[in-house]
Structure 1
Amino acid sequence: MKKGRRILIIGGGAAGLMAAVAAAKNGVEVIILEGLNRVGKKILATGNGRCNLTNIHMDIRRFHGKNPKFAFGALGQFDVEQTMNFFDFLGIKCKTEEGGKVYPYSDQATSVLDVLRYELQQLGVKEECEKEVVEIKIKNQSFEITIKDGSKIKGDKVIVATGGMASPQLGSNGGGYKLLKDLGHRLIEPIPALVQLKLQATFLKQLKGVKFIGEASLMEGDKLIRVEGGEILFTEYGISGPPILQLSRGVSEELIKKNIPYIILDLFPQLLTKDLEELLQLRLAYQPQKSLQFNFVGLINKRLIPVILKEAGIDNIQKISSQVNIKEIEAIAYLLKNWKLKAIGTQDWKHAQVTAGGIDVEQVDSKTLESKLVKGLYVVGELLDIDGDCGGFNLQWAWSSGYIAGEDAALSNR
């Protein structure tokens, strides 16, 4: 162990644990200071408890923030292959699923946390839990950290890995922002991302629990912002599902700008509107004696039928199909392809998977994650103004930024 070199890591999430491993491998004393009663609670919640470790389709376009290219620095030095090799060495055999998502073969996030903690123990890393840090001071070219209970601990370098504000019940309460702002760092206003959306609609309770495979587009005025496809779920407050989570960051941004964002749903993305009109005409003509409502049974979810028909302007949804005119068919087909719903907000922080916004990356070195304002201070993971799409991108950012910071903190004599 390098004589007298002590690195303090504030936060025992994915980035903090990875930083601890990387630093300890290089022979320094490492202490993790975690506010909760155990480390890694958020890791256990990732991938619905399966831990979506990374994604083989890593692309900088899947990251967001004021300067997403900042993420190149860490992602390029500790990439997806290195991440998978790292976990393979620890005992986690990886498998790749739809969309490039990588999971442990065990399908258990507990496996990932278990092997990380075992490695930390082998390396002599100390885990100090229920140690919420309230202040970082610089004293004689080293650091003095104050814990909420008034106790203090000194270290030569500090890595701040407290996370953002998403899922505060798992430890991310925004406390790291204050620590860094007190040292002069700028904060870009945090907003929830990868979170369910609230809609302005009267029929939501009627559709609660209804799922369909389709496409969702985010629009503001005439501007198309993003399109995502997959399973979409109606809830009593609005809408959810992977495509909606991907759009949620854009919704939050538009609402902050005081714009009015809309979600456009396409229930038949595989068909053109014209083809859908022809399908409906044939369907109604084939069973002209059926009521209009009943003629849709087997085509879309039964609970969707009355809502769709009324939204398309059909007053009498029980009339027989032979009485439905072409304009009404066109209106129904158009709605099934272009169902416009006003987004009025997102669910709160406890439902968000990640934080958008955070500490301004302009004040952090992209190659080392060291602060440009305070030597020996590192900022990693979700705490920074970098966030990724759903599908393993945020965890890869945590692994990469944590590893690079831990290694540099241990090896650098700055």
Structure 2
Amino acid sequence: MKIAIIGAGAAGIMACITAKRLNKNLQIDLFDANKGIGKKILASGNGRCNISNSSITSKNYIGENPDFVNFALKEFDFKAFEKFCKSVGLLLDVKESCKVYPLSNEAKSVTNLLELALNELGVNIYLESFIRDIEKVDEKFNIKLDETEYKGYDKVLISNGLGAAPQLNANESGLEFASKFGHTYNSTYPSLVGLKTDNTYNGKLQGVKKECNVILFVNNNLEQEIFGDVLFTSYGVSGFAILDISQLAVLNLSSYQDVKIAINFFPKINKNDLADQIQSLLKTVPNQRVVDILTGMVSNKIAPVLLDICKINIDTKANEINAKQIKAIAYQLNSWKMKIVDTQGFGHAEASGGGVRTIEVDNRTYESKLVKNLYFAGEVLDIVGNRGGFNLHFAWASGYLVGKSLVK
């Protein structure tokens, strides 16, 4: 049997290894646009490779039908992944946060060991291969590149991801191939990405970083609340809390909903207590400017912007400010609202949302329900995980199920 796998990412690699271990007589040709395998694996976790997560449920995923992942997570849970890693010589470092890294703390060791496994099993790897078309003729698939055509495949797996990280040759050709075979897909959008806001003061706060509570509002309804790092940028906001909340924010933004966030700089202090603390602070130095005194509790970049938003003159002294103005400052610090208008784009996104509709794919075999012997796995499907190794784990798990299905 002759099999073509499009995309040498986590899902494609896992499918190759699983299938060849079950049947060494398979001919498997693995195609990828890059000069090496697993480029997104190398980029994960800032080069340290956040390879999985030891605590995963369908609640860690969004898409048209997040429950689609349940069978894959059951069949290929973290223990199964750990066993697979040991089988290729890879030891893991499981953090208290449940994030999982290679013990070497280096992503390159992951791709090196996977490549050794592929070579040992006799998988044919075709790098720098841009697939232009896939066609099915007389129950056989043909793979067309720019100047070459590979013919006579019994089965094909499309696992070449979506548009996140175009600098790694990421593209949405998988959706084009899927569409050609009658599949539909949900619109794609950047996920785990910085958010652009419509504020005029963005540049003035660039570089400010603080642990805050971030609250997401969609059409003025509270949707999500996350605590973590917030980084103010020239375009808006980033940081871990923003990346996390961006998933729901951008999903709703992509369907033209009204999306806002509110940042609470002091989540452990309610606004009334915060107002009392500010008032007490101002009383200690009545002849000093309020903007200077506030730098004792917030960044010196935030203080002048804060006063401007509250319509308080920059030269106002502590003994000149009234109780109403103090409450306005406290309220702003407890609920700094911003309208989200866009994202930083696919070039800065860790993952892509949207993709091939899972209702058209078997959740146990990952075979197309529309075209026999056509399979999908990983990011090309309308499933996107939270930050923390969840996307890679779904890629491994879906690739594993496809690998088992390919030998049948």
Tell whether the 8 Å contact from 2:279 to 2:326 is kept in structure 1 after alignment.
yes
What is the identity, as a one-letter code, of the residue corresponding to 1:364?
Answer: V
SS of aligned partner of 1:368: coil
Match of 2:354 in 1: 357
CA deviation map 1:326-349 (0-9, x unaligned): 111111110001011111111121
Partner of residue 140, structure 1:
138
TM-score between both structures, scaled by the size of structure 2? 0.96
Match runs of 1:211-360 below 5 Å? 211-314=209-312, 316-360=313-357
Query: How far off is 1:242 after superposition?
Result: 1.4
Deviates more, 1:274-283 or 1:342-351: 274-283
After TM superposition, the score normalised by the length of structure 1 is 0.95
Q: How does 1:77-88 map to 2 (within 5 A)?
A: 77-88=75-86
Q: Distance in 2 between matches of 1:401 and 1:73?
A: 9
Match of 1:112 among 110, 113, 117: 110
Given that residues 74 and 368 in structure 1 are in contact (C-alpha distance below 8 angstroms), is that contact kept between their aligned partners in structure 2?
A: no
Of all paired residues, the percent bearing the same amino acid is 36
In the alignment, residue 92 of structure 2 is paired with which amino acid?
Answer: C
**C-alpha distance in structure 1 between counterparts of 2:28 and 2:102, whole Å:** 27
| 8 Å CA contact retained: 1:55, 1:80 | yes
User: Residues of 2 paired with 1:130 and 1:23: CA distance?
Assistant: 23
Q: Does structure 2 retain, via aligned residues, the 8 Å contact 1:381–1:401?
A: yes
Which residue number in structure 1 is paired with residue 169 of structure 2?
Answer: 171
CA-to-aligned-CA distance 1:366-401 (integer Å, 9 cap, x gap): 011111111111100000001111111100000100
Tell whether the 8 Å contact from 2:10 to 2:392 is kept in structure 1 after alignment: yes
Question: In 2, distance between residues paired with 1:319 and 1:374?
Answer: 71
Matches within 5 A, 1:67-106: 67-97=65-95, 99-106=97-104
After superposition, what is the alpha-carbon deviation per residue over 1:81-130, rounded to whole angstroms, capped at 9, x for unaligned? Answer: 21122213323222233532111122211111111111111111111112
The runs of 4+ residues in structure 1 deviating greater than 3 Å are: none
- What is the Cα deviation at residue 202 of structure 1? 1.1
- Structure 2 SS opposite 1:81: helix
- The 1-side partners of 2:114 and 2:390 are apart by 19
Residue 167 (structure 1) shift: 0.9
Contact 1:365 1:371 in 2 (8 A): yes
Q: Partners of 1:55 and 1:290 in 2: how far apart?
A: 51
- Structure 1: distance between partners of 2:358 and 2:28: 25
Q: Distance in 2 between matches of 1:58 and 1:85?
A: 17
Cα distance in 1 between the residues matched to 2:98 and 2:266: 25
Aligned to 1:61: 59
Query: Counterpart in 1 of 2:8?
Result: 12
Task: Tell me the distance in 2 between the aligned counterparts of 1:309 and 1:270.
Answer: 22
Question: For the residues of structure 2 that align with 1:153 and 1:235, how far apart are their CA atoms?
Answer: 50
| 8 Å contact from structure 1 (residues 251, 345) kept in 2 | no
Letter of the aligned partner of 1:166 in structure 2? A
Tell me, in whole angstroms, the C-alpha distance in 1 between the residues paired with 2:254 and 2:45.
29
Q: Deviations over 1:151-184 (max 9, x none)?
A: 2233221111110111122122101111111011
Structure 1 vs Structure 2 CA RMSD: 1.4
> What amino acid sits opposite 2:316 in the alignment?
K
The alignment partner of 2:337 has SS state of: strand
Aligned partner of 1:389 among 386, 389, 395: 386
Q: Distance in 2 between matches of 1:374 and 1:104?
A: 38
The question of whether the paired residues in 2 share the 8 Å contact of 1:159 and 1:406 is answered with no
- Does the CA-based 8 Å contact 1:42-1:171 persist in structure 2? no
Range with bigger deviation, 289-298 or 339-348:
289-298
Secondary structure of the residue that 1:264 maps to in structure 2? strand
Mapped to 1, the partners of 2:213 and 2:169 lie a distance apart of 34
1:259 alignment partner AA: Q
Match for residue 199 of structure 2 among 195, 198, 201:
201
Q: Which runs of 5+ in 1 are unaligned?
A: none
Gaps of at least 5 residues in structure 2 are none
1:379 lines up with 2:380 in the alignment: no
Comparing 32-41 and 255-264, the one that deviates more: 255-264
Which string of whole-angstrom CA distances, capped at 9 and with x for unpartnered residues, describes residues 20-53 of structure 1?
1111111222210112222211111111111111
